[in-house]
Homo-oligomer: A and B are copies of this chain.
Amino acid sequence: MTRIDVGVLGATGMVGQQFALQLAGLPWFSLTWLAASERSEGRAYREAAPWRLPVPIPAEIADRQVEGCVPGRGPKVVFSALDAGVAGDIEQAFAAAGHIVVSNARNYRMDAVVPLLVPEVNPDHLALTSRQCASRGWKGAIVTNPNCSTVFLAMVLAALRDFEPRAVVVSTMQAVSGAGYPGVASLDILGNVVPFISNEEEKMESETKKILGRMGANGVEPHPVAISAHTNRVAVINGHTEAISVGFGVKPPEQEIKSALVTFAGRPQEMKLPTAPVKAIEYLEEQNRPQPRLDVDRGRGMTVTVGRLRACRVLDYKLVALGHNTVRGAAGAAVLNAELMHAEGRL
């Protein structure tokens, strides 16, 4: 099988670097096009991107020349690691010009004709893309993945969908890598907690409902679950930990909850997509897990680890979930989206 050429928009920033790393060595895609702002245009990638990941820059792209974000240039499939400040216009221009834009940016996530995709949860939402041509006139399409803290919650709730989640209170402890570079100042987080992340609570509350929503005749009908999020930044490099209380329409015995979590799987596992983890969710029995330092890399960062399932005195159950915010919560999520689209013949 020949590999499909793909590109990255915004390739020089932190998220762009994570895309570069995530795509290295994958069987279906070949990263042949690195695009960034004018400032970087024409420079070698290794010069333009001040590499800040603990794995060395992949040799096959280090010397590749960075190009401009010009629609029509580059391969059909492009991943977007663009900042929200510029993603809106650029992604639309690429979609209009016929590119498939697999985006990590927040701009089109809540757009009625754009799938907010978690391949294990709502692969059917991909059908939305067919409306993009009709309503927007795009020859290509935009597909998005959720905000990092949203994915982990959405996957847990999807696993428990049969029990009809009605209410969720979630409090996060989020890693600094979620804020990019330079991102969080060290004076703000060393030995500290910052109980606020701009717009993060709103994203968790609205995106989760769209992801879990049902595809109807008129698009996605948001799931009725009520979600209240407290989002906090802590002194962790990678890994968002989420303390979740959840109430159900149909309260099941604890063992059924655990069983639903452990057996949760979806299209990526069935189709054995290259980036899919064997276990979408892994349940850890130790009473003090999951922990970011010990568990964030499970399933090469694509597995959501869960633990501490127990009764909640206010809602029905409570538990702890953990996910890798720059892998399952960003670059890995987008790549899995693209793999699903490829497996379904949509690329």
Contact = CB atoms under 8 A, between A and B. Distances in A.
Contacts of A235: 186, 190-191, 234-236
Interface of A: 52-56, 167-169, 171, 173, 176-177, 181-196, 205, 226-228, 230, 232, 234-237, 239, 241, 243, 245, 287-298, 307-308, 312-315, 318, 320
Contact of A241 (B53, B232, B308): B232
A245 B230 contact: yes
B195 A308 contact: yes
29 contacts: A54-B296, A56-B298, A167-B314, A168-B314, A169-B245, A173-B193, A173-B234, A176-B190, A182-B185, A183-B187, A185-B185, A185-B186, A186-B190, A187-B237, A190-B235, A191-B237, A192-B291, A192-B294, A193-B239, A195-B243, A195-B291, A196-B288, A196-B289, A196-B308, A228-B245, A228-B318, A230-B318, A235-B235, A235-B236
Given A230-B245, A318-B230, A187 B196 contact: no
Given A168-B314, A312-B228, A313-B205, A185 B191 contact: no
Given A190-B237, A308-B196, A232 B173 contact: yes
A236 B55 CA distance: 18
A155 to B, nearest CB: 17
A274 to B, nearest CB: 21
B186 A188 contact: yes
A51 to B, nearest CB: 9
